[in-house]
Amino acid sequence: MDGPQDSSEARRAPSAATSDDPCADLSRRGFIQGGAAALVAAGATPLPGAVGPASDVMREATQVAQGVPTTLLRFTLNGVPQNLTVEDRWTLAELLRDRLEGVSGTKVGCERGECGACTVLVDGAPVYSCSTLAVWMEGRSVLTVEGLAPRGELSPLQRAFIEHNAPQCGYCTSGQLMSATALLERNPSPTADDVRRALVGNLCRCANYNAIVEAVLAAAGTAATGGAE
Amino acid sequence: MKAFKNWNARSIAMAVDLARQARADGQSVSFAGGGTDLLQLVKDHIPNRPGQGEPDVLVSLKGIDGPSRIEMTTGGGVTIGALATLTAVSESLVVRDRFNAIAEAAAVVATPQIRNVGTVGGNLAQRPWCWYFRNGFPCYKAGGDRCFSAGGENQLHAIFGGGPSYIVHPSDLAPALVAFGATFRIAGSGGERTVSAPDFFVPPRTDAQHENVLADDEVLVGVDVPAPAAGTRSTYHKIMDREAWTHALSSAAVVMQMDGDVCRRASIVLGGVAPIPWRVPEAEALLAGQRVTPELARRVGEVAVTGARPLAKNAYKVPLTRGVVERTVLALASRA
């Protein structure tokens, strides 16, 4: 199905979707959830804790499995206080991506604290959300990539990422953005080496590191003084 | 992950008590500091304590305030709480000013994301990163009765002090703390006790399964580093197979008490080459009372590796370690 004969399809830009395209209004995540809803409608048993199709309901519904230890968790997510019952075993990445709605910009790559795709800021510091438990966030403030553009307006760093083609496949981008955001908060005029050091825990499998460093320097307004070699 | 119960402890006494109660109920318990390594072990079904199953209960120490502090003592030493993050240690002005090797060691652990969460206690008590242990082989470290690296893939393993297990101790802080003569404070159901840094780490000949003296019910609560003598300077040099984000192939913590260009006393402790932080007293003795010339540094490097016994695939660590010691000693002595 994904063979070479489909390459023209694969190359079609996302903007090519026209208004008569039935998929035009569907996000990939919405599509996947729609599929899950169809399974439920067809009589399949939903997994315990699986989210339903209606997004307004899902925001509240962090359903937990039966007989599994849970804890009431209070923390701040992108500036909004949260009060949720979570399973003790959930990682923060799991809570964000699989149990809450609208914060799936955080990605999970390796699921073992090595790649950095899951990086979020906890009280301003970059942290691997796959390697910390949700229950350990009690009283803490968590910022995800969604929090960088609270009203849909991209931050200067995000705009610089676009202008400098910093994302290739884009999977590591949200993690890179979070580490770079923390760096610029701490050091508004970093050198290229400062940027490299700050982003050392964020791997880019496309190896687009030069463009990422350029973008961060551009966002800091220091691009003229230190290009990425 | 396994459906464990997490307790957020509010004090060390509460943590020890929670662990004791859970154990009395027949449950397997793990203390969690930063938890980055612990969660990895749980996800991979690797025992955190040798011979124990996956934890039924985690006792999180994160919410405890006191043991995260770093404070200068009245005598000019420093006390570092075991829950201080590696970032806090690397940025502490007291540590950087007087105990530079400790700050440098903390700064080269893993990545910023790990250092922002990982603690001093966790760095010192982390399990080995031997690929056999981490991939579920029933080795000594998992409670078994073999070391698979001895006759296997031992590129990253010990050249000193190995047998019957050949792991290398993965901590960067450990060599620096041993070189500064630190002592460790440990809390458990029997109260608090203190051990010197070298006595905290256990060679495999004494106990092949554990890397340190912590009992199942014990937790590291703090590190006390005595005041350095006047003229003391120090550094930590770590060699990795890439520039960041991995463990030491070989490393050296060097502390020197200088009097002009003469070295009065030196401590040299190696990392990444032995199952415990590896002190090289004969090499240290060469430096006592001497002007540090390139020729002397070369001999110090040579003497540091005279006792090395490499395995089939890690002989490269011998010249590497010799070079690390030579260069680090010379650079530190020449530092203005």
Pairing of strands B232-239, B191-196: unpaired
**Cβ–Cβ of B36/A128 closer than 8 Å?**
yes
Pairing of strands B262-271, A141-143: unpaired
> What are the chain A neighbours of B83 within 8 Å (beta carbons)?
none
* Reduced 3-state DSSP string for chain A: CCCHHHHHHHHCCHHHCCCCCCCCCCCHHHHHHHHHHHHHHCCCCCCCCCCCCCHHHHCCCCCCCCCCCEEEEEEEECCEEEEEEEECCCEHHHHHHHHCCCCCCCCCCCCCCCCCCCEEEECCEEEEHHHCEHHHHCCCEEECHHHHCCCCCCCHHHHHHHHCCCCCCCCCHHHHHHHHHHHHHHCCCCCHHHHHHHCCCCCCCCCCHHHHHHHHHHHHCCCCCCCCC
- List pLDDT tens digits, range B87-129: 999 999 999 999 999 999 999 999 999 999 999 999 999 999 9
Residues B57 and B88 in one domain: no
Residues B90 and B212 in one domain: yes
Residues B274 and B319 in one domain: yes
CATH of the domain at B27: 3.30.43
pLDDT (mean) for B296-305: 98
Least confident of A45-49, A68-72, B178-182: A45-49
Separation of alpha carbons B140 and B168, rounded Å: 13
Separation of alpha carbons A149 and B209, rounded Å: 50
Residues B195 and B245 in one domain: no
pLDDT at A224 over 60: no
Choose, out of B4, B38, B113, B117, the residue to mutate when testing the contact with A (most A CBs < 10 Å): B113
> What are the chain A neighbours of B6 within 8 Å (beta carbons)?
69, 71, 88-89, 133, 135-136
Across the interface, which of A68, A112, A200 has its CB nearest the CB of B111?
A: A200
- List pLDDT tens digits, range B53-99: 899 999 999 989 888 899 999 999 999 999 999 999 999 999 999 99
- List pLDDT tens digits, range A106-155: 999 999 999 999 999 999 999 999 999 999 999 999 999 999 998 989 99
Partner residues linked to A81 by β-bridges: A76
CATH assignment, A156-220: 1.10.150.120
**Cβ–Cβ of A89/B1 closer than 8 Å?**
yes
Counting residues of chain A whose pLDDT is more than 70, the rounded percentage is 69
Separation of alpha carbons B253 and A37, rounded Å: 59
- Residue A151 has phi, psi (to 5 degrees) of -110, 30
> What are the chain A neighbours of B8 within 8 Å (beta carbons)?
135-136, 138
Domain boundary among B63, B89, B104: B63
User: Residue A66: pLDDT band by 50, 70, 90 thresholds?
Assistant: confident
Residue given tokens 């980055």 in the structure block: B36
Q: Which of B26, B18, B29 is nearest to B56 (CA)?
A: B29
Residue given tokens 């203390």 in the structure block: B31
Residues B172 and B212 in one domain: yes
Q: Which amino acid is at B309?
A: R
- What pLDDT does B266 receive? 98
User: Residue B244: pLDDT band by 50, 70, 90 thresholds?
Assistant: confident
| Superfamily classification of domain A62-148 | Beta-grasp domain (3.10.20.30)
Residues B309 and B212 in one domain: no
pLDDT at B33 over 60: yes
Residue given tokens 């006494």 in the structure block: B13
Q: Is residue B318 part of a domain?
A: yes
- Boundaries of domain holding B312: 232-334
Residues B70 and B181 in one domain: yes
Residues B271 and B183 in one domain: no
Domain boundary among B225, B240, B269: B225
- CB under 8 Å to B119, separation ≥6 — which residues? B33, B34, B61, B68, B82, B83, B84, B85, B86
Residues B183 and B196 in one domain: yes
Sheet holding B78-81, edge to edge: B70-72, B78-81, B219-225, B183-188, B191-196
CB-based contact A106:A141 (threshold 8 Å)? no
- Contact of B40 with chain A, judged by CB distance below 8 Å, is answered with yes
Counting beta carbons within 10 angstroms of the beta carbon of residue B129, is it exposed (0 to 12), middle (13 to 18) or buried (19 or more)?
middle
> What are the chain B neighbours of A114 within 8 Å (beta carbons)?
245
Residues B103 and B239 in one domain: no
pLDDT at A34 over 60: no
pLDDT at A11 over 60: no
CB-based contact A177:A161 (threshold 8 Å)? yes
DSSP B68: G
Across the interface, which of A87, A113, A138 has its CB nearest the CB of B40?
A: A113
H/E element, B107? helix B100-107
Partner residues linked to A41 by β-bridges: none
CB-based contact A108:A150 (threshold 8 Å)? no
Separation of alpha carbons B236 and B101, rounded Å: 5
